[in-house]
Structure formats: C-alpha cells, structure tokens
C-alpha cells in the first residue's frame, strides 16, 4: 500500500469554501433548509447568489440537510439548470425547442456559437457571457427567443442577438 | 457479483410486522394468495411480487435490475409479463400478486420485447466476455443467453461508454477509466448498465448512501460521492455494491486475479460480535472471496469491510507456522517440533507446580476462540492444572454484562435477536458506536431509523449515529465520561416521578419489595436531572425529554456497548439499564429488550463456556455442589470449589512471586489490557509463558513457548454472537501450522497427564450439550440443519430462543437493584485536567493484529488523538501536531486531530496500533464487581511534543530486539 493512497481525514463541511461563498451558502441554507424537501430550494438559492453551486459547497449542504454528498451531487448533476462551474458575468439562454426551431432557431444557434466563439455551456474568453441551451421559454409565438440574465427577449434575429451581446459586454 | 451458490428470487419476501409477537419475525405468517403462472397454480404470501412468486415455483423470468436483496425498482424492463385483464406489459418485479391472477411469462411478444431491450444494453457494453472477470457468473451474459440475443443492429461506432477512443481516433469523452483506488475492488464504468443495483444496495442495505447516479439519460453514470474515487468518497467499503452488481463493473480484486471459485462453504466471520454468516468461495484451498450469506440469520446477506475483505491476515507472511521455544525472553527463538514444544511447555508447567504449588499456573482464553476451544482451555485448567485459574478477555470488556444481567433478569446475555430492532419504535444506544464497532447490525438499525423509529444516543462523543445521512438522534445525551450511573438514575427518576412506570408489568413480572425499594431510591430528589446536571453535563430538559420518549414512545430497545461496562461502575450501570427496561415493561417481546453489543466474535460464547474463574459452563458457580459433582463425574477428576484468579489477580500474584506460568490462547494481554507497563512487568516475572497465536503478538514478545495457532478458516467449531446465536465455523483449508487450536490444547492436556481424546470438535460440542442445560439441544447435526441456533436450546425450546424472558424472567421475577452513583477515583485536577476515553474505528479490529495486516490500513493507518479545538487552542496544538498524553499510569505520544465530535475537556483515541500505547495511559481502576478495567475514563494532560514518549522509545527498542530474536530462530527442525 502506497503511503499517498491513505485517505486523509475529511475537512469540516464548508471549510474549503472561500469566506464570501461560505457566507452566501450559509445564508441560502438558513433561509431554505427548514422547508420540507429543502434541497432544491437551497440549490436555487445558492445558484442565485453565486451563479453556480461550487463543489466545495456540497459537503456543507449535505451536512446541513442530513443527506450524503452523493445524493446532493446526484441532484445537481441531474438538473441541467444547476451549474457546477462558475459562469460568465451574464448568462444567455437560447431556446432550442420546436417552435423556435421552426422560425430559424438553428440559424440563430449557429450564429450565437460562432460570434461568441463558444459551444453550449461555454463561457466567452473575456468572461462576459455563458451560453446555455434551454428547452422552451414559453414564448413560442415570438420565437426565436433568448433569455439574458433572466430577462426574456423575443423575435431575436442575428442582428438583435449581436446587440444584446454588445450591451451585455458593456455592463459589469 | 452474487454468490455462486445462491439463487436470486428477484425481490425480497414481503415483510410482515407482527408487533408484540414473542417469537422471531422470521416465523411471521402472512395470508396466502393463489394465482396462475404459465398454467401452474401457485400460492404465495400476500405482498409477494409476481417475479418472486414465479421464482419460488421454479419459473425464472429474465431480470437485471431486480435482486432479492433490494426493493423492486422496475427499470430494466426485462421482467415484463402479460397478465390477463391488465393492459400492456407490467414489470413482474413491481407487480404484487393478486388472487386469481393469470400470468404469462413467456410468449413470442414478450420474447421480442426482451430481445429488443437486451440489444440496447449490449449495444453499449464491451464484448470481451471471454476475458471478463464476471465470465461464468455474469447476469448480463446469462440474460443475453436467456432472451436469445443473436445480433446487435446498432453497431458500436456511435456514441458509447465502452471505448477510450472513438471510431475516428479521437478521445471518447464518455469513456471513464477503471477506478482501482479501493484496495479490495475495482470499478469499471465501461461495463456498467446503470441498473442502479449498487446505488440501491448502498442506500437500502448499507445505509451509507455513498453512491448516486450522476447526470441523466445517456450521461448517467454511477458516482461515488461527488464523482470521486471510491477511496476518497463516503464509501465504507462494505462490499454491498460489489455483491449487487450484475456485471463485472464492480468486481473484487481477488476475483479478477483468481477467476471464479469452484465451491463454496458456509462459515461464520471471526471479527465482531454480530457474527455474520459468510460463504467462503474457494478454489481448492484458496479463498477467492468471502460473500455474505443471504441465509445468514444475523446478517441476511450483508457484510462490512472487515469480514468481507480483510482476511488477508490469514495468509500473511507474518504468520508463524512452526512451534518455538526459548529458556529466557532475551534468548533467540528456537524452532522445534510440536512434540518438543508441547513436552517443554508441559514439563515447565509441572516443574512450576511442584516448586510453587498447584495454583502457580493458569490459562487465559479469548473471545476470538471458538466455543469448543474455550471449553477445552477451561477444562484443561480445571481438570489438568487442577485449579480454577482460568479467565478470558471478556474480563476486560463485558464481564459486567454477565454479572448485571444475571442479578436482575437471571441470564447473562442479551434478550433479543438482531431482527427485533425492526420492530422497535425507540432505540436507545448507550456507550456503543455500532456504525464502527458492529457495522452490519448498525445497517439494520439505520434501516429501522429511516423507517421512522426515534433514536436516543447517550455518548460523550458525537458518534456517526447522532447525525449521518437520513439518521438523526432525537436526543444526544452528551454526558461526561464516568457519569453513566448518574445518568441512568436520572432517567429512572423521571420515569418514576412522572408516573411513567408500567405498573401492570412490574406488578406481574417483578419482585415487589425490590421494586418498591428501588422506586423510593430513584425518586429521591438527589437523582433529579436538575440535580445531576452538574455531574453528567446533560441539560435536564434534554434528559427529561429522552426519558419520556423511552418510556412512552412504543417499543423501546436499549443497545449498549463497552461505554457502559468499562467503568468502575460498569456492573451498576448494566443493572441500571435492566431496571429501566423492567420499569417500563420493555422486555420479553420483540422490538424491546436489553442488548449488549459484544465486541468480539465470541465474547458471548467464551463467557458461556465457563472461562471465568468462578463459573462452570452455563454460568454455574464452582461452589455449587450439584454442578461440580456433575463435572467431576464427567471429567473423572475432583475439582476445586474455590474460584481461581482473575486476570488482574494473576498479574498481582505474578508480581508477588506466586504465579509463574501462563497459557494464553488467542489473546494479547500486553496490548489490550490496561496499564501496559504493569502487565509486561507481570509477564516478565513469570517463568513460563506459553502463547498460542497466529502472530508473534505483543504478549508473545514476553513468552517462552510459542505455539502457532490456526485462523478461523483452518478449523471447525462454533461461535456464539451477541444475540446468543450459535453458528458453525467450518474449515475451508488445512491448518498452516499443522494443528487446529483445539488439537493443540488437547496435546498440552495429554502431556500434562490429563487425557483428552476428541476426534472432532463436534464431540466437544456433544460434551458441552450434555453438561450445560442451556445447550442441551445443540449439536453439529442440528446446526447444519437449522443454520444456527439461539440458546437456550433444550426440551422447552427445541428451536432455540430468539427472545428471552417472554412471560417470565429466567430468574422467575425480575429484580430491581439499587444503583447508587459513586464517582470514579479517576478525577481530573490541574495536573491531569482532561478525560481520555477510548473506542474503535470501522476499518480496524481490536488490537489490530488481524486488520493491521490487511489493506484496511488504507482507511486508518495510525491512532490519532481527537481533541476539541478549544482545548487544542489553549495548548497551542494544531491539526497533525504530535502531542504527549500523560496520565497517572504512563505517557504516550500520538498525532492530534481537532474535531468537535469530542466535547471540551474530553479527548479520545483508538487503540488499534501497539506503538500508540493507548493502554500505557489507562489505569488499574476497575469495576467493583467484576474487575473490568475502567478503560473509558483516564485523567490526562495533553501537551505538544517533538518526540515519542519514553515508553514508545523503549517499546521500539524492545520490539526491534524481539524481531531480531525471531529472525535468529534456527530452523533445526526439518
């Protein structure tokens, strides 16, 4: 048995989080953990605060909700909505559902990936934008649709898309 | 991979809860349901699945995600059937039987569906069957055969998890390489069919929930914790997932290395007091793997990392396989023949007896020996040595249990079987750490807790049970070490003064005067939780709530461990626990009771077999004329009516120069007994120490004769577990040193001039049965027939006794005992301001002689001192610092681990490594009634240090010297 194969004593839950993140995760827990089935609300609150659910937050969430780390990880990885990596400053969700595809959604998709230089789930080199696919924003009459930082935009042509991106790049 | 010898019925039997039943739950009766499967009329218990009903009647419906160890899941879609009047193709695993149901399990349509399903599975599975470890026992392969899969139309070029590279040569991002981090098994995700059996085994069976399916759809993958390696994850390596896996995705490394076993032998684990039944899967005389036995009545097919995997010690090169002798302990060892070694030991013992008197020698047996071996050792001492100087290591663990339960209930044993916990509504765990010490029983307990039973934990330390996934104690009574009796008196005070006594039970079942006396005693205001708060450190409100819950929460069961017994008032505490159970009527039926969790595999058995100096087998005092006459007649010698020396008395006597010779079988007193320096001084003062063991253990370093023993794999016998269950140990290979331990004792007896002529351990058991009323109905033939038997087994209870004290206590009326709290002499002061308490850890076992010689060191390779961060800060101690721990008895050095598991003022360590010297610090204090040492309370000071303690330096030098003396043994014997 190699010495380095010996498992170290696990750090206390949450001790690997930077202080600011720890505060945010603790706040999310304090706010949500007493609800029945608290895991999803807690994960939402953490992602709302930090933009993602850091792996280092999982032990603390698991400990506080009396779940195993595996269970929390299973839930986070099951829902594409939950991000495990830090996103860009802005998150741009592009609808890939049928109604948007019927009105040239695929063209917009190709344009978006080309002009941002990233694939889905990627973040632009300048850290400004993360591009994510979404399956229906409920805006089918006005497709193709995107959502930027939670704000819905309809009838998005490539030009309109560039405009949205340019605006986002200018804001912090 | 499942056992090669077992049939899988697809889903578990329906669980019928018969609350209040006095017999075992296994005998529960359910109404039968009749249905028709493939034209055959069958009857099965209500609640059975169609899949199981078919399997019970020899109709095997194809299945992959179903196994009778786990609840039905319904994901693989192979076990589809057609049921008349039902739409579509229901999964037979999730469909319960109904009266008059007509089921078709095979037709063209079903065949086509199943073939289609299998085709999809195989399209993302490697086709390396011939070189695959599961080959010969792969369920996926079997199902491909069963459904007649002949082609896979989808090809292998597309998206897959199978190949590291894609068809175009690029890296396949979906491919995940093997995880070989766990020393015992390999995880190969490329072979995974995502049936979730491993995940469910970890959730349902083990209750650790270390596995999860990560992602969804084609991304789905089994993930240990946060997609880590198994070793880094929350996995406790119990092996349940490996057993559940239908493919080679999770395979034992020994299976990968050796291939399929060719035969399987049922035996009993030699680790803790749970006594799990295992199937040793063998290739000739070589163990391929140990698989927990689904028919095992103690473990029901579950296991832990020790019993399942840690058997490497049995073939470890440290095993000594030739007898050795030496005149002085400073001499090199000399390998000799068995004849010479036995003759030398016998002549030395005879010489000592003629010079110093008959009582100058004695024997120590062990809870790790079989019943038959222990019986023979005490017989050798009583009949062969002609004195009663025999004791066992239960002296230092559960002797107070024997005494306390006998005084109150009338029998020195736990009252329930393990399955009883499934009917408990309130579980109180006192001074025990089941998830580490008794992991398989802990899994059963956790299953019940997840079902909603309430938990009370009384422990100075936050053990895992207090809070772990899906488990949370309603009350954690975090008492100060050494105040158990104060705590139990307070609990009793609340029960008595708040009118929670089960008056009807007490009136009918218990001695009235003793009860009235006890009621008056505990009702005294000095026992009130408020008055005792300062002593125990437990908030009065918390204690009151716990007492109310225990008394009124339904079936309440107490489980306790060495945290109860290893105190100066161990016996008092055991009686206090029995008082509680009697006062609330929580005894004499299923789901309740007083249950000692025995540390070692055969603590119960070694006590039963009369290995205490004052008792013959069956707990009958040596002074009892009738019993003694019976044994004198059977053994053909006259026996002493006076009890002999207990282990601590032997040491005292040795230091006084009166006790000169000791035969130690399977026990390591130099490591496991308290105040090591005192023990070793006593051993040094003896003229002939004979050690019979697998290894040159700590005690053997002080020995003159070493007799190489045999492991549990090398002999026949029986172990008796914590639920009084007698189970067979079966020989799967011949003894490495030539003799099984019972044969060695017999050789010694014959050489001493007392004739023993057993040809097989079954003959020893027959003698035990003939001489011991509680074992009357036990024989190897009946054990083979019934699997195991819980004593008492006699004319009144021919099937054994799962639950004791039903209707009437063994002693007639239950007797309440007065339990006055007397604080221990071991007090903290400015010089020794902290209390040290000790315990054990999952991966290691007792003195570690076995587990330290296995890969289990990956989980725990050194003993650490747990210290609360505030105590550490006051002493300038940070994580990993070397710290000296000094007590009135001695000093040792360990590395510190800062944790709030321990409370301020208390430090904690394990004692698995001899160089840790945990027992160098523990003192001579002991239980007033039984001399059980007070391991759990030692006043200490802890300081930062830069070098090992003086004792450790001496120990190291001495051990190195003894290793040289072992190396120097000449191999004169050919």
For residue range B548-557, what is the model confidence (pLDDT) as tens digits?
Answer: 999 999 999 9
Is residue A171 within 8 angstroms of chain B, CB to CB? Answer: no
Task: Report chain B's C-alpha Rg in angstroms.
Answer: 29
Contact B210, B241 (CB under 8 A): no
DSSP characters for B638-681? Answer: ---SS----HHHHHHHHHTT---EEEEES--HHHHSSSHHHHHH
**Does residue A5 sit at the B interface (CB-CB below 8 Å)?**
yes
Q: Could you read off the pLDDT of B761-815 as tens digits, one per residue?
A: 999 999 999 999 999 999 999 999 999 999 899 998 899 999 999 999 999 999 9
Which residue among B224, B857, B859 sits closest to A70, beta carbon to beta carbon? B224
What sign has the CA pseudo-torsion B85, B89, B90, B91? positive
Asked whether the beta carbons of B663 and B690 are under 8 A apart, the reply is yes
Provide the CB-side half-sphere exposure for B593 (13 A, CA). Answer: 29
- List strand residue ranges (DSSP E) for B255-359, in order: 263-268, 277-283, 286-292, 324-325, 334-335
Instruction: Indicate whether B385 belongs to any domain.
Output: yes
B926: helix, strand or coil: strand
C-alpha B818: how far from chain center: 32
- Residue stretches of the annotated binding site of A: 95, 100, 136, 140
pLDDT digits (tens, 9 = 90+) for B495-547: 999 999 999 999 999 999 999 999 999 999 999 999 999 999 999 999 999 99
Residue B714 resides in a domain: yes
Spatial neighbors of B238 by CB under 8 A, at least 6 apart, are: B205, B206, B208, B302, B303, B304, B305, B308, B439, B443
Closest partner residue to A9 (CB to CB) among B211, B215, B897 is: B897
Q: Is B502 exposed, middle or buried (0-12, 13-18, 19+ CB in 10 A)?
A: middle
A5 has a pLDDT exceeding 70: no
Closest-approach residue (CA) in chain B for A13:
B899
**B846 domain-assigned:** yes
Whether B7 maps to a domain, the answer reads: no
Best probe of the A interface among B469, B474, B879, by most A CBs < 10 A, is: B469
Judged by a CB distance cut-off of 8 A, whether residue B231 touches chain A is: yes
B469 contact residues in A (CB cutoff 8 A): 62, 66-68, 71
Query: How many domains is chain B partitioned into structurally?
Result: 5
B208 touches chain A (CB under 8 A): yes
Percent of chain B with pLDDT over 70: 98
Whether residues B624 and B756 share a domain: the answer is yes
Distance CA B274, CA B437 (A): 9
For residue B233, give both structure tokens: 């994850």
User: Is there a single domain that holds both residue B582 and residue B610?
Assistant: no
**Which residues of chain B have a CB within 8 Å of the CB of A66?**
467-472
Neighbours of B235 (CB within 10 A): 24
Tell me the C-alpha distance between B320 and B506, whole Å.
Answer: 56
A78/B216 Cβ within 8 A: yes
Query: Token pair of A91, please?
Result: 């998150």
CA separation, residue B303 to residues B188, B237, B308 (Å): 22, 9, 6
The pLDDT score that the predictor gives to residue B26 is 42
Residue to mutate among B226, B228, B851, B879, with most A CBs inside 10 A, is B226
CB B658 within 8 A of CB B360: yes
Judgement on whether residues B732 and B756 belong to the same structural domain of the protein: yes
Same domain for B634 and B541: no
- Rg of chain A, C-alpha, whole Å: 19
| Strands B688-693, B426-430: pairing kind | unpaired
Contact state of A77 with B223 under an 8 Å Cβ cutoff: yes
Instruction: With CB atoms and an 8 Å threshold, state whether A6 touches B861.
Output: yes
User: Of B153-157, B350-354, B606-610, B727-731, where does mean pLDDT reach its minimum?
Assistant: B153-157
Top-confidence residue, B904 or A8 = B904
CATH number at residue B448: 3.40.228.10
The whole-chain average pLDDT of chain B stands at 93
Give the domain range for residue B381.
Answer: 334-397+603-790
Question: How many other C-beta atoms can be found within 10 angstroms of the C-beta atom of residue B217?
Answer: 6
Strand partners, B83: B103
CA distance B865 to B896: 5
Q: Does B337 touch chain A (CB under 8 A)?
A: no
pLDDT of residue B451: 92
Question: Tell me, what's the pLDDT at B19?
Answer: 41
pLDDT of the residue at A6: 57
Q: Which long-range contacts (CB under 8 A, 24 or more apart) does B280-286 make?
A: B280/B713, B280/B730, B280/B732, B281/B3, B281/B4, B281/B5, B282/B732, B282/B733, B283/B258, B283/B259, B285/B732, B285/B733, B285/B734, B286/B258, B286/B733
pLDDT in tens, B396-451: 888 899 999 999 999 999 999 999 999 999 999 999 999 999 999 999 999 999 99
Count of CB atoms situated within 10 Å of the CB of B591? 27
Q: Which of B546, B573, B596 corresponds to the end of one domain?
A: B596
Cβ–Cβ below 8 Å for A77 and B215: yes
Phi, psi of B451 (to 5 degrees): -75, -10
**Same-domain pairing of B851 and B895:** yes
Q: For chain B, percent helix, then strand, then coil, each to nearest 5?
A: 35, 20, 45
For residues B135 and B207, state if they share a domain.
no
Distances in Å between the alpha carbon of A146 and those of A81, A95, B69? 15, 6, 49
Over residues B574-587, the pLDDT tens digits come to 999 999 999 999 99
Query: Which of A59, A70, A71 has the highest number of chain B CBs within 10 A, making it the mutation to test binding with B?
Result: A70
- What is the C-alpha separation between B380 and B385, in angstroms, rounded? 6
B216, B226, B858 ranked by CB distance to A69: nearest: B226
- Give pLDDT, residue B911: 85
Residues of A in contact with B858 (CB under 8 A): 1, 5-7
Cross-strand bridge partners of residue B864: B895
Residues of chain B with Cβ-Cβ distance to A7 below 8 Å are 231-232, 858-859
Interface check A62 vs B, CB under 8 A: yes
**ipTM of the prediction:** 0.91
Binding residues of A for [2Fe-2S] cluster: 95, 100, 136, 140
Instruction: Tell me, yes or no, whether B590 and B643 share the same domain.
Output: no
Question: B222 CA to chain A: closest CA distance, Å?
Answer: 9
- Rounded Cα distance, B39 and B104, in Å: 8
Residues of B in Cβ contact (< 8 Å) with A1: 183, 855, 857-858
What integer is the mean pLDDT of B108-119? 96
The verdict on B542 and B617 lying in the same domain is: no
Q: Which of B183, B234, B467 lies nearest to residue A70, judging by beta carbons?
A: B234
The conformation of residue B14, written as its DSSP 8-state character, comes to: P
A7 interfaces chain B, CB cutoff of 8 Å? yes
Among the partner residues A5, A67, A73, nearest to B469 by beta-carbon distance: A67
User: B599 or B637: which carries more pLDDT confidence?
Assistant: B637
Instruction: Over range B103-127, report the average pLDDT.
Output: 95
B857 interfacial to chain A (CB closer than 8 Å): yes
Find all residues with CB under 8 Å of B589, minimum gap 6, and list them.
B20, B21, B22, B555, B803, B806
Q: Looking at the complex, does the CB of residue A33 fall below 8 Å from at least one CB of chain B? A: no
The count of other CB atoms within 10 Å of the CB of residue B770 is 11
Q: Over the stretch B284-304, which tens digit does the pLDDT of each residue have? A: 999 999 999 999 999 999 999
| CATH code, domain carrying B359 | 3.40.50.740
Cβ within 8 Å, pair B234-A68: yes
pLDDT in tens, B6-48: 999 999 998 754 443 444 344 456 789 999 999 999 999 999 9
Planar angle of CA B166, B170, B174, nearest 5 degrees: 55
CB contact under 8 A, B212 and A66: no
Query: Quick one: closest CA in B to A54, which residue?
Result: B226
Verify that B664 and B752 share a domain, yes or no.
Answer: yes
- Same domain for B615 and B750, yes or no, is yes
Task: Provide the greatest CA pair distance for chain B.
Answer: 91
Mutation test of the interface with chain B: which of A2, A68, A85, choosing the one with the most B Cβ atoms within 10 A? A68
Using CA atoms, how far residue B562 sits from B73, B441, B570, B903, in Å, is 40, 16, 9, 19
- The Cα of B209 is separated from the nearest Cα of chain A by a number of Å equal to 6
Q: What is the pLDDT of residue B344?
A: 97
Interface A-B, measured as beta-carbon pairs within 8 A, has a size of 72
| Nearest-angstrom CA–CA distance, B361 and B660 | 6
Of B288, B267, B287, B293, nearest to B370 (Cα)?
A: B267
Q: Is A74–B214 a contact, with Cβ atoms under 8 angstroms apart?
A: yes
B213 touches chain A (CB under 8 A): yes
The predicted structure's pLDDT at residue A7: 60
Question: Both tokens of residue B333?
Answer: 């060892």
Cα separation, A123 vs A129, in Å, equals 6
Cβ contact B835:B290 at 8 Å? no
For A90-122, give one letter per residue: b (16+ CB within 10 A) or e: bbbbbbbbebbbebbbeebbebbeeebebebeb
Kindly list the distances between the CA atom of residue B754 and the CA atoms of B214, B708, B747, in Å, as whole numbers in the listed order.
67, 22, 10
Looking at CA atoms only, how far is residue B462 from chain A in angstroms? 14
Tokens of B775: 């074992």
Q: Which chain A residue is nearest to residue B180, measuring alpha carbons?
A: A5
Q: Is residue B284 part of a domain?
A: yes
Nearest 5°: CA angle at B94, between B92 and B97? Answer: 65
Q: Chain A: nearest CA to B212, how far in angstroms?
A: 5
DSSP symbol at B817: -
Q: Is residue B711 part of a domain?
A: yes
Model confidence over A106-134: pLDDT tens digits? 999 999 999 999 999 999 999 999 999 99
Same domain, B75 and B104: yes
Q: Which of B729, B758, B790 is the last residue of a domain?
A: B790
Nearest to A70 among B223, B467, B857 (CB): B223
Q: Inform me whether the C-beta atom of residue A73 falls under 8 Å from chain B C-beta atoms.
A: yes
Within 10 A of A61 (CB to CB), how many other CB atoms are there?
A: 27
Nearest to B234 among A5, A69, A77 (CB): A69
Looking at the structure, tell me whether residues B53 and B114 fall in a common domain. yes
Query: Where would I find the H helices in B712-859?
Result: 741-752, 761-771, 780-786
pLDDT of B371 > 90? The answer is yes
Among B732, B757, B790, the domain-final residue is B790
**Cα distance between residue B107 and residue B110, in whole Å:** 5
**Residue A22 main-chain phi, psi, to 5 deg:** -60, -45
Taking 3-state DSSP, the helix, strand and coil percentages for chain A, each rounded to the nearest 5, stand at 50, 10, 40
Cβ atoms of B372 and B385 closer than 8 Å:
no
Residue B176 pLDDT exceeds 90: yes
Q: Chain A contacts of B216, Cβ < 8 Å? A: 77-78
List the CATH number of the domain containing B866. Answer: 2.40.40.20
CA B669 centroid distance within chain: 20
Name which of B337, B359, B361 is nearest B349 in CA terms. B361
Inform me whether the pLDDT recorded for B717 exceeds 60: yes
Q: How confident is the model at residue B621 (pLDDT cuts 50, 70, 90)?
A: very high
Strand intervals (E) in chain A: 90-95, 129-134, 146-148, 151-153
User: Which CATH superfamily, name and number, covers A90-170?
Assistant: Glutaredoxin (3.40.30.10)
């Amino acid at each position: 048995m190699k010495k380095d194969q010996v498992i170290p004593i696990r750090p206390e839950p949450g001790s690997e989080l930077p202080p600011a993140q720890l505060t945010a995760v603790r706040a999310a827990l304090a706010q949500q953990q007493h609800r029945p089935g608290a895991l999803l609300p807690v994960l939402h609150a953490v992602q709302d605060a930090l933009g993602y659910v850091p792996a280092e937050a999982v032990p603390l969430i698991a400990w506080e909700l009396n779940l195993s780390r595996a269970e929390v990880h299973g839930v986070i990885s099951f829902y594409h909505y939950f991000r495990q990596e830090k996103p860009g400053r802005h998150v741009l969700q592009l609808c890939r559902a049928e109604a948007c595809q019927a009105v040239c959604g695929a063209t917009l998709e190709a344009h978006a990936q080309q002009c941002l230089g990233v694939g889905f789930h990627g973040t632009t080199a300048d850290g400004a934008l993360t591009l994510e696919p979404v399956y229906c924003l409920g805006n089918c009459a006005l497709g193709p649709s995107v959502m930027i930082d939670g704000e819905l935009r309809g009838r998005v042509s490539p030009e309109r898309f560039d405009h949205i991106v340019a605006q986002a790049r200018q804001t912090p | 991979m499942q056992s090669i010898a077992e049939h899988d019925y697809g889903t578990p039997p329906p669980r019928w809860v018969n609350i209040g039943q006095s017999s075992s739950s296994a005998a529960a009766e359910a109404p039968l349901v009749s249905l028709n499967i493939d034209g055959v009329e069958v009857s099965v218990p209500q609640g059975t699945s169609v899949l199981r009903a078919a399997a019970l009647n020899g109709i095997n419906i194809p299945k992959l995600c179903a196994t009778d160890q786990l609840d039905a899941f319904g994901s693989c879609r192979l076990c589809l059937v057609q049921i008349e009047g039902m739409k579509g193709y229901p999964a037979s695993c999730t469909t319960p039987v109904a009266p008059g149901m007509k089921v078709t399990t095979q037709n063209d349509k079903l065949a086509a569906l199943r073939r289609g399903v299998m085709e999809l599975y195989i399209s993302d599975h490697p086709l390396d069957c011939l070189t695959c470890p599961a080959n010969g026992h792969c369920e996926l392969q079997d199902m491909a055969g069963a459904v007649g899969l002949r082609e896979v139309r989808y090809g292998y070029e597309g998206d897959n998890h199978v190949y590291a590279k894609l068809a175009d040569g690029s890296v396949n991002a979906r491919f995940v390489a093997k995880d070989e981090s766990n020393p015992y098994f390999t995880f190969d995700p490329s072979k995974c069919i995502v049936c979730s059996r491993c995940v469910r085994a970890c959730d349902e069976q083990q209750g650790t929930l270390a596995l999860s399916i990560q992602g969804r759809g084609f991304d789905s993958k089994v993930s240990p914790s946060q997609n880590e390696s198994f070793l880094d994850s929350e996995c406790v390596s119990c092996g349940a997932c490996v057993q559940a896996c239908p493919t080679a995705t999770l395979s034992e490394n020994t299976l990968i290395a050796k291939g399929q076993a060719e035969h399987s032998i049922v035996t009993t684990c030699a680790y803790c007091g749970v006594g799990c039944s295992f199937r040793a899967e063998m290739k000739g005389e070589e163990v391929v793997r140990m698989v927990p036995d689904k028919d095992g009545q103690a473990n029901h097919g579950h296991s832990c990392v020790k019993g399942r995997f840690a058997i490497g010690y049995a073939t470890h090169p440290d095993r000594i396989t030739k007898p050795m002798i030496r005149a002085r302990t400073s001499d090199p060892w000399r390998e000799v023949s068995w004849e010479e070694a036995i003759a030398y030991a016998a002549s030395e013992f005879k010489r000592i007896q003629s010079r110093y008197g008959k009582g100058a020698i004695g024997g120590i047996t062990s809870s790790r020996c079989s019943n038959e071996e222990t019986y023979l050792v005490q017989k050798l001492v009583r009949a062969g040595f002609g004195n009663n100087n025999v004791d066992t290591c239960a002296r230092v663990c559960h002797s107070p249990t024997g005494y306390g339960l006998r005084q109150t209930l009338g029998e020195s044993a736990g009252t329930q079987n393990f399955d009883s916990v499934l009917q408990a509504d309130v579980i109180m765990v006192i001074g025990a750490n089941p998830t580490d010490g008794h992991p398989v029983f802990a899994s059963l307990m956790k299953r019940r807790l997840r079902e909603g039973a309430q938990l009370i934990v009384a422990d100075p330390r936050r053990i895992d049970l207090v809070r772990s996934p899906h488990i949370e104690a309603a009350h954690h009574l975090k008492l100060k070490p050494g105040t158990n009796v104060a705590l139990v008196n307070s609990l009793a005070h609340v029960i008595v003064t708040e009118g929670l006594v089960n008056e009807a039970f007490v009136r009918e079942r218990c001695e009235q005067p003793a009860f009235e006396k006890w009621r008056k005693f505990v009702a005294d205001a000095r026992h009130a939780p408020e008055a005792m708060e300062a002593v125990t450190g437990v908030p009065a409100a918390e204690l009151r709530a716990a007492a109310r819950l225990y008394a009124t929460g339904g079936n309440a069961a107490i489980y306790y461990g060495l945290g109860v017994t290893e105190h100066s008032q161990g016996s008092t505490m055991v009686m206090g626990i029995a008082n509680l159970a009697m006062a609330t009527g929580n005894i004499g039926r299923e789901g309740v009771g007083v249950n000692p969790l025995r540390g070692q595999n055969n603590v119960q058995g070694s006590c039963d077999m009369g290995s205490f100096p004052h008792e013959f087998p069956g707990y009958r005092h040596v002074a009892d004329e009738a019993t003694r006459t019976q044994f004198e007649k059977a053994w053909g010698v006259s026996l002493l009516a006076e009890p002999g020396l207990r282990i601590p008395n032997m040491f005292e006597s040795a230091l006084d120069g009166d006790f000169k010779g000791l035969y130690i079988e399977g026990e390591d007193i130099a490591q496991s007994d308290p105040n090591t320096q005192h023990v070793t001084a006593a051993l040094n003062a003896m003229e002939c120490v004979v050690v019979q063991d697998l290894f040159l253990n700590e005690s053997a370093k002080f020995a003159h004769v070493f007799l190489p023993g045999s492991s549990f794999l090398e002999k026949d016998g029986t172990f008796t577990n914590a639920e009084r269950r007698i189970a067979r140990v079966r020989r799967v290979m011949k003894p490495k040193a030539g003799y099984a331990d019972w044969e060695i004792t017999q050789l010694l007896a014959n050489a001493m001039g007392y004739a023993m002529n057993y040809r097989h351990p079954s003959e020893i058991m027959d003698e035990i049965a003939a001489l011991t009323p509680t074992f009357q109905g036990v024989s190897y033939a009946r054990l083979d027939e019934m699997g195991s038997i819980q004593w008492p087994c006699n004319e009144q209870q021919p099937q054994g006794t799962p639950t004791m004290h039903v209707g009437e206590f063994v002693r007639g009326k239950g007797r309440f005992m007065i339990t006055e709290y007397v604080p221990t002499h071991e007090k903290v002061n400015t010089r020794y301001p902290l209390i040290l308490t000790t315990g054990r850890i999952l991966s290691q076992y007792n003195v570690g002689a076995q587990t330290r010689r296995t890969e289990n060191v990956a989980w725990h390779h050194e003993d650490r001192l747990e210290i609360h961060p505030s105590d550490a800060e006051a002493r300038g101690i940070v994580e990993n610092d070397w710290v000296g721990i000094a007590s009135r008895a001695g000093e040792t050095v360990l590395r510190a681990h800062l944790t709030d598991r321990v409370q301020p003022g208390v430090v904690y360590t394990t004692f698995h490594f001899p160089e840790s010297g945990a027992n160098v610090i523990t003192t001579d204090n002991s239980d007033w009634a039984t001399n059980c040492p007070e391991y759990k309370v030692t006043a200490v000071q802890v300081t930062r240090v830069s070098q090992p303690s003086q004792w450790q330096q001496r120990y190291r030098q001495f051990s190195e010297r003894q290793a040289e003396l072992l190396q120097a043994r000449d191999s004169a014997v050919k």
